[in-house]
């Protein structure tokens, strides 16, 4: 078999040759040209090699979105190591789990960050290298040219972690080539991304949606991308849009709702550079879709993707937006809606969405149980999403499992319940989705311990208790008291009975 090309080398070399001085990335007041990006990515590959990192080794990146993060990601890829970006604010516990689970050879993180503390507690880790916003430390001693390694046959080209129903996240490995899949059907045929576009994603590089919109799309199109290193709030996002004048904006529904509330064109919130807004990560409520377009005059396209697919597989189209629907299959994908027996569901009947297409992950990292459940032997991927098709258009009807998508984060009811049970008044509890303005939020259903009055004061106390233990998206927004939870004869709680659409 012929050796496979190194995808990072391909992207970097093409851009460096065609437009060396064009901006590849904009971040705050700083500009990174395609030439400077290629040079520093090569330096980083050479550094990793000199420090004993080999092709196939996992290199965990725990970094804010920044030039440094992109250089580190592409540099690791040049070596055909496996860059594994994780959220910069990942808890020390979860980071330790990821480093051990993927048997990381290296961790790249900001100097003095909690991540660097965690690194000291992981024996197998060979390298913990500090990284500034501009790049990993010590690049200047290395050559700006590097001999890129060909991707190894079985080793993952890059990996992302996705949260699971029972606590720990699962590694989702992808081949290097998968990085380019979203640039074909979705970016080219649907969005029409070209070299003159300036892309801006509020979602971070550690999330597949962010990696696609901030790395795959701009580099494949020879375009420019805006990076925001801070936590994205309305002020930060409007400021970046006004300053950098992006043409394409990618964000999640929860943030569109916040942006819409804050939007004030009279106060300088100028969105005139945008030709299109895109929403993914969780279902976009129909009302929010309409309101956004009414207020801004901009189309808002909803589409669904997943970490496993490393792509969008259903999408709305410019000029033909159906608010409240995920749209139609993205070119390259075949989709089915099936009933519990695996038979095709007719139009109008909800069932689970299965997808098939290029670039889909074929096995979770070291999780044969989860792989067997999700990746069917005939090549279909179970999305876990319930969909209904009408007139060829697909609409999301929630998740088949108990997982919640809140602000585009997976939330496991089990984890929230564990936290709630540490409150002295909670005898039993179950967490299920509650729709607030069409967006999914966790609701706690609590059976109080005898002797505790089920009143609003206790509800507030339980919510406060949860906020002290859980990240914001996992915190219930409401407590409902029940005398008992709905359970199967075998005692399993039936969370689906508690959902309030």
Which parts of this chain interact with ligand 3UK (CB under 6 A)?
Answer: 162, 208-209, 212, 280-283, 302-307, 312, 326, 383-385, 396, 399, 405, 408, 410
Residues 72/106, Cβ–Cβ less than 8 Å: no
Q: Give the pairing type, strands 426-436 and 439-448.
A: antiparallel
Whole-number Å distance between alpha carbons of 105 and 56: 10
Strands 106-109 and 58-62: parallel
- In whole angstroms, what is the distance from residue 155 CA to residue 40 CA? 24
Cα dihedral angle (150, 156, 162, 165), rounded to 10 degrees?
170
Joined tokens for residue 412: 């496991």
State the nearest-atom distance from the C-beta of 439 to ligand 3UK, in Å.
11
Work out how close the CB of 153 gets to ligand 3UK at its nearest, in angstroms, rounded to a whole number.
25
Least distance between ligand 3UK and beta carbon 110 (Å): 24
Least Cβ distance, residue 165 to ligand 3UK (angstroms)? 12
Residues contacting 225, CB < 8 A, separation 6+: 24, 25, 26, 198, 199, 200, 201, 213, 214, 215, 217, 218
Q: How many CB atoms lie within 10 A of CB 69?
A: 30
The contacts found for 292-298 with CB under 8 angstroms, 24 or more apart, are 292/256, 292/260, 293/321, 293/323, 295/260, 295/263, 296/263, 296/271, 298/271, 298/274
CB nearer to ligand 3UK: pick between 81 and 280: 280
Q: How many CA atoms lie within 13 A of 497 on its CB side?
A: 11
- If the CB atoms of residues 56 and 157 are measured against ligand 3UK, the closer one turns out to be 157
Q: Say if residues 373 and 355 touch (Cβ distance below 8 Å).
A: no
**Closest CB to ligand 3UK among 305 and 442?**
305
Q: What is the dihedral of CA 90, 94, 95, 99, to 10 degrees?
A: -150
* Residue facing ligand 3UK at closest CB distance: 305
Least Å from the CB of residue 160 to ligand 3UK: 8
Q: Least distance to ligand 3UK from the beta carbon of 284, Å?
A: 6
Which CB sits closer to ligand 3UK, 87 or 405?
405
Minimum distance from CB of 285 to ligand 3UK (Å)?
A: 10
The answer to whether the CB of 246 falls within 8 A of the CB of 270 is no
Q: Which is nearer to ligand 3UK, 174 or 465 (CB)?
A: 174
Q: Between 174 and 405, whose beta carbon lies closer to ligand 3UK?
A: 405
C-beta of 6 vs 374, nearer to ligand 3UK: 374
Smallest distance, Å, CB 61 to ligand 3UK? 18
Nearer to ligand 3UK, 34 or 399 (CB): 399
């Amino acid at each position: 078999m012929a050796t496979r090309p190194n995808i990072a080398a391909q992207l970097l070399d093409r851009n460096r040759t065609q437009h060396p001085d064009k901006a590849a990335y904009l971040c705050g007041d700083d500009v990174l040209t395609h030439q400077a990006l290629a040079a520093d990515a090569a330096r980083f590959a050479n550094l990793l090699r000199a420090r004993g990192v080999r092709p196939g080794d996992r290199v965990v990146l725990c970094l804010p979105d920044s030039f440094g993060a992109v250089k580190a990601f592409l540099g690791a890829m040049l070596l055909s190591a496996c860059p594994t970006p994780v959220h910069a604010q990942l808890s020390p516990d979860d980071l330790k789990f990821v480093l051990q689970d993927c048997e990381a050879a290296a961790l790249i993180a900001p100097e003095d960050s909690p991540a660097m503390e965690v690194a000291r507690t992981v024996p197998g880790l060979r390298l913990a290298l500090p990284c500034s916003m501009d790049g990993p430390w010590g690049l200047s001693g290395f050559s700006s040219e590097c001999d890129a390694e060909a991707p190894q046959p079985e080793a993952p080209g890059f990996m992302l972690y996705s949260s699971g129903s029972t606590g720990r996240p699962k590694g989702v490995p992808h081949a290097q080539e998968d990085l380019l899949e979203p640039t074909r059907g979705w970016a080219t045929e649907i969005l029409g991304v070209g070299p003159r576009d300036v892309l801006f994603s509020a979602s971070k590089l550690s999330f597949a949606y962010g990696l696609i919109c901030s790395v795959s799309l701009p580099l494949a199109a020879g375009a420019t991308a805006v990076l925001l290193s801070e936590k994205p709030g309305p002020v930060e996002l409007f400021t970046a849009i006004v300053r950098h004048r992006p043409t394409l904006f990618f964000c999640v529904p929860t943030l569109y709702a916040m942006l819409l509330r804050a939007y004030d064109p009279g106060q300088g919130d100028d969105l005139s550079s945008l030709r299109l807004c895109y929403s993914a990560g969780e279902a976009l409520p129909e009302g929010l879709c309409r309101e956004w377009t009414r207020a801004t005059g901009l189309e808002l396209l909803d589409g669904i993707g997943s970490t496993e697919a490393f792509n969008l597989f259903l999408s709305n189209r410019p000029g033909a937006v159906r608010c409240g629907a995920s749209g139609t299959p993205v070119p390259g994908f075949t989709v089915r809606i099936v009933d519990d027996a695996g038979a095709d569901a007719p139009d109008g009947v909800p069932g689970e969405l299965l997808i098939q297409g290029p670039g889909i992950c074929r096995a979770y990292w070291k999780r044969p149980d989860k792989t067997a459940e999700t990746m069917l032997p005939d090549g279909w991927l179970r999305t876990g999403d319930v969909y209904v098709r009408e007139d060829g258009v697909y609409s999301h009807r929630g998740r088949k499992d108990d997982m919640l998508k809140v602000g585009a984060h997976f939330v496991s009811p089990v984890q929230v319940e564990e936290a709630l049970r540490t409150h002295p008044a909670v005898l039993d509890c179950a967490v299920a989705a509650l729709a607030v303005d069409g967006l999914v939020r966790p609701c706690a259903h609590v059976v109080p311990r005898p002797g505790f009055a089920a009143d609003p004061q206790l509800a507030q106390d339980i919510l406060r208790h949860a906020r002290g233990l859980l990240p914001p998206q996992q915190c219930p927004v409401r407590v409902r008291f029940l005398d008992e939870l709905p359970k199967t004869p075998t005692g399993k709680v039936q969370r689906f009975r508690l959902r309030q659409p």
